[in-house]
Amino acid sequence: MSVNFSLEGKIAFVTGASYGIGFAIASGMAQAGAKIVFNDIKQELVDKGIAAYKEAGIDAHGYVCDVTNEEAVNETVEKITKEVGPIDILVNNAGIIKRIPMCEMTAAEFRQVIDVDLNAPFIVSKAVIPSMIERGHGKIINICSMMSELGRETVSAYAAAKGGLKMLTRNICSEYGKYNIQCNGIGPGYIETPQTAPLRERQPDGSRHPFDSFIVAKTPAERWLKPEELAGPAVFLASEASDAVNGHILYVDGGILAYIGKQPQ
């Protein structure tokens, strides 16, 4: 093909990628040829991640790092550069959500979500951009969520953070596009993960969980998405095939954002 989707020779740093969406994205990038580096906040999670990558046939490098700590991030990026090599691809995947009604949420809880979901991508991006400028290329992918565009009960902090991350994505594009750095976002829909498994379990009478029914009805694909379905879009945004794509949010949502929903019967 004349379009280059290969990541051979590239080093990809995927934050919070011991499991779940981050693991699926990193695994897809590894299959495209990238060398994978990831972090998590505890050694036990890093160890579990390394074991999972090894089982998948991937030789990943794991580091313990709190991405909200600027000093720790700078030290980790420096260590990665020395031990593995300079980072070509950054995926800001690490994130949390607190499902609490806004008027019941404390300011401290709100700040914690903002810190992990918005401040951390700023901190990690700032740590890798100078090297990308120096080498004349770089790819940054922010995991933005559909909550970059939509609101819903109990997710005020998460929606605020992801909306901010969408605009940080566009601003990194605006500031650093001239250095051949592309910064884009992926907005996942509702994904089949261990965390969402309870919401997809059948009820004792065999019916769907109410939230499961809600998501299936709101999604034109009429199903939850699989984590590995994010790998292709991530590889595209990390490869030379997307060099002209910058400041864009690619929503991988099965069509939810395009759909008003079914008419009540």
**Residue 158 among the catalytic residues:** yes
Which long-range contacts (C-beta less than 8 Å, at least 24 apart) are formed by 100-106?
A: 100/154, 100/157, 101/153, 101/154, 102/154, 102/156, 105/156, 105/157
Integer Cα distance of 259 and 255 in angstroms: 6
CB crowding 108-131: b at 16 or more within 10 Å, else e: eebeebbbbbbbbbbbbbebbbee
Which of the following is catalytic: 19, 53, 63, 158?
Answer: 158
Starting at the edge strand that comes first in sequence, how are the strands of the sheet with 181-188 ordered?
A: 61-64, 35-40, 11-15, 89-92, 138-143, 181-188, 249-252
Given a contact cutoff of 8 angstroms between Cβ atoms, the answer to whether 47 and 23 are in contact is no
Integer Cα distance of 209 and 201 in angstroms: 6
Helices 70-83 and 120-135: crossing angle in degrees, nearest 10, is 40
For residue 248, CA distances in Å to 136, 170, 187 come to 20, 7, 10
Best CA proximity match to 145, nearest among 117, 111, 123: 117
Q: Which residues are catalytic?
A: 158
